[in-house]
Amino acid sequence: MTSAPVPSRRALLLASAGALAVPRVRAQAGRPLRLIVPFTPGGSTDILARAIGQELTKAWGHSVIVDNVPGAGGAIGADKVAKAPGDGYTLLMGHIGTLAVNPALYPKLAYDPLKSFAPVAGVARVPNVLVVSAASPARHLAQWLALARAQPGRLSYSSGGNGSAAHIAMESLKLAAGLFLLHIPYRGTAPSVADLIAGQVDATFTGAPAVLPHVRSGRLRALAVSSAQRLASLPDVPTVAELGDRGEPGLRGFEADQWYGLVAPAGTPAPWLARLNAETNRLLASADLAASLAAEGALPMPGPAEAFGALIARELPRWRAVVRAARMQPD
């Protein structure tokens, strides 16, 4: 009988490290996880966070508590996570606004989107939907653009606040189409949509989950979506880029989707981050969650943590340019 090979010193060290890491991750998995949403309830971030939190709770058998911490365009909630212990108990539902727009909007931002957080996993890409009230004379995007150009500064649009996804999406459209619109910021997406339904503002260009129920009920009319392809949940609504191919050259290739993903405080243990990434990707691949996201107009965005971190780094300069060109100011 041949004798078993003697493990090398490196192998013994790695085995010891793994033995220490696994109990730490299991100990964290037994406690409630706090998932901070840096916006008010009712918006796309909140809707997606609650869907993910519910599925993680089912998968793990312990609570994932969704905690809304709004303010300053999501900066208050994000800073709370950045300053939390890196012990795996606190996560942020990161968002294009908190992670890519706020650094340009707030010159003295208390956190750094690349240094203060450890990326965990991408969750979803959410196209924005340009909607008007059912009483609007505009039946499609070209008519709405004509109305806006015929009375510059008279048409208004709502958003969930300065620097919110709806704000930057509409400012991006304004720059591309040469429009002059009046911005009416609200403290959250839900009240901004409610006032659009009530006729207090003329339009909004916000995440599909927040407006799809009202489009389906007939209280809002969808004119266009910000994604490169049409949404399965709104198959008859064209993309903005389609109009660019039909005579609006400034809109060719237009895309201004929101994106969402989980981040943890910097220094969170790598084994715990790896487990969170694996669990999130597994959930995103499940038929039930995929169907739930699709019904909300959201597209799953699975992948390694490094890919989500690269997306954040790539989007920072893009939205910095929009913030500067639009001369956007924080609340």
Residues 177/248, Cβ–Cβ less than 8 Å: yes
Residue 252 in tokens: 């060719």
What pTM was estimated for this model as a whole? 0.79
| Dist CA 329 CA 163 (whole Å) | 8
For 208-258, the pLDDT digits (tens) are 989 999 999 999 999 999 999 999 889 999 999 999 888 888 999 999 999
Residues pairing with 92 in the sheet: 36, 263
Among the ranges given (25-34, 182-191, 241-250), the one the predictor scored with the smallest mean pLDDT: 25-34
Give the residue-averaged pLDDT of 7-15. Answer: 36
Distances (CA, A) of 82 to 1, 46, 61, 98, 112: 57, 19, 27, 12, 9
Q: Per residue in 93-147, pLDDT tens?
A: 999 989 999 999 988 899 999 999 999 999 999 999 999 999 999 999 999 999 9
Q: What is the pLDDT of residue 4?
A: 40
User: In angstroms, rounded to a whole number, what is the distance separating the alpha carbons of residues 138 and 148?
Assistant: 10
pLDDT of residue 30: 62
Position 188 confidence tier, pLDDT thresholds 50, 70, 90: confident
Mean pLDDT over 276-296 rounds to 86
For 206, the 3-state DSSP assignment is strand
- pLDDT of 14 > 60? The answer is no
Confidence band, pLDDT 50/70/90 cuts, at residue 8: very low
Query: CB-based contacts of 27: which residues, under 8 Å, 6+ apart?
Result: none
E strands present in 218-295 = 220-225, 258-265
Strand pairing category for 299-300 and 90-95: unpaired
Average pLDDT value over all residues in the chain: 88
In our burial notation (b when 16+ CB lie closer than 10 A, e otherwise), range 296-318 reads: bbbbbbbbebeebbebbeebbee
